[in-house]
Amino acid sequence: MTESTESRSVAGKMSVFDRFLAVWIGIAMVVGLLLGRVIPGLGDALSVIEIDNISLPIALGLLIMMYPVLAKVRYDRLDTVTGDRKLLISSLILNWVLGPALMFALAWLLLPDLPEYRTGLIIVGLARCIAMVIIWNDLACGDREAAAVLVAINSIFQVIMFAVLGWFYLSILPGRLGLEQTTIDVSPWQIAESVLIFLGIPLVAGFLTRHFGEKARGRAWYEEKFLPKIGPWALYGLLFTIVILFALQGEQITSQPWDVVRIALPLLAYFVLMWGGGFVFGAAIGLGYERTTTLAFTAAGNNFELAIAVAIGTFGVASGQALAGVVGPLIEVPVLVALIYVSLALRKRFTRSPDAVAS
């Protein structure tokens, strides 16, 4: 298949809804912000619907969003990912060495006079994405199997390393550099709970759906008939999540616009640098388009739900740390949506990887 034919094939498979994704997401963000601003008490009412600091409306939206994508994963091909040492090692370095270090540096460089926001951003940098990155990767035509494996690895490391890295970047390293120190109060169970809900449930559901669906009707029926029916629900879940998320914090965001701008600058630099670094590095070591894209998006995304929960639990719902966590998805969503289009534009520069051809 030639590059032009392949490009037309990809474009032809995209629905009108998919093609105008950026528009729908922009509308969802505006609707959420307006709802949170014009309906008194809406944010408080929505925030009450939670269990152990986990917002049930947001959890519902994320589960609806992730299930169709994880149902598309060919779980019998995961061994092709686990054997790719270049991909796995690169992902671990980007997510757990470079990512937190970059956010620490940007937070101190751009917010030296705003300690609460700075601490909130460092917490965001420690929370690696295990949810929304699945759909960004899918929309950019990344490797679904690779995304599933990398997200699972990040989940394990998140449970083990989040509190340790929080202690290092908020207390130990600032102390060594003669900077202001702080601490966070977070238990491994709180992190594990987030992982089990936002990744475990849709992952198990997706695996069982494919296993029993293929067993009952065959792979051809499953991929050609069943998946197209549930596929749109991923975007419905995404839009619902965005509306709820911004409705929860609409008043807080719109009432402090200059603070939001200050917080947005390091976040914007972080997402662009992490994605760009991951993409360039993946291309340089010959991962191919699909896995390069997956590496870039898994490196750039963050677990905003965990970061916000930790900030609220440690510093309070009205704290600057919590506001910094809330601004995270405000910047991440449009930036990573834009990078989906950048990825697709760069696709023609790659030859198809052997794994992609085999699929």
pTM of the predicted model as reported, rounded to 2 decimal places: 0.79
Note the pLDDT tens digit of each residue in 138-169: 889 999 999 999 988 888 888 888 888 988 99
Task: Considering only residues 13 and 137, tell me which one the structure prediction assigns the higher pLDDT.
Answer: 137
pLDDT at 51: 64
Q: Does residue 44 surpass a pLDDT of 50?
A: yes
Q: Give whichever of 50-64, 160-174, 267-281 has the largest mean pLDDT.
A: 267-281
What are the extents of the domains in the chain? 20-358
How many residues are there in the chain? 359
**Rounded average pLDDT over 63-67:** 85
Three-state DSSP string of 159-228: HHHHHHHHHHHHHHHHHHCCCCCCCCCCCHHHHHHHHHHHHHHHHHHHHHHHHHHHHHHCHHHHHHHHHH
Q: In 3-state terms, what secondary structure has residue 85?
A: helix
Q: How far apart are CA 108 and CA 114, in angstroms?
A: 9
Q: What is the band of 334 on the pLDDT scale with cuts at 50, 70, 90?
A: confident
Q: Hey, how many other C-beta atoms are within 10 angstroms of the C-beta on 214?
A: 17
pLDDT at 246: 77
Note the pLDDT tens digit of each residue in 291-323: 999 999 999 988 877 787 788 777 876 678 888
Q: Does residue 264 surpass a pLDDT of 50?
A: yes
How far, rounded to the nearest angstrom, does the alpha carbon of residue 260 sit from its chain's CA centroid?
20
pLDDT at 15: 59
Q: Any idea which of 6-15, 79-88, 257-266 has the lowest mean pLDDT?
A: 6-15
pLDDT at 52: 61
pLDDT at 248: 74
Find residue 51's DSSP bridge partners. Answer: 54
CATH number given to 20-358: 1.20.1530.20
Note the pLDDT tens digit of each residue in 77-115: 888 898 999 999 999 999 999 999 999 999 999 999 999
Q: Does residue 359 surpass a pLDDT of 60?
A: no
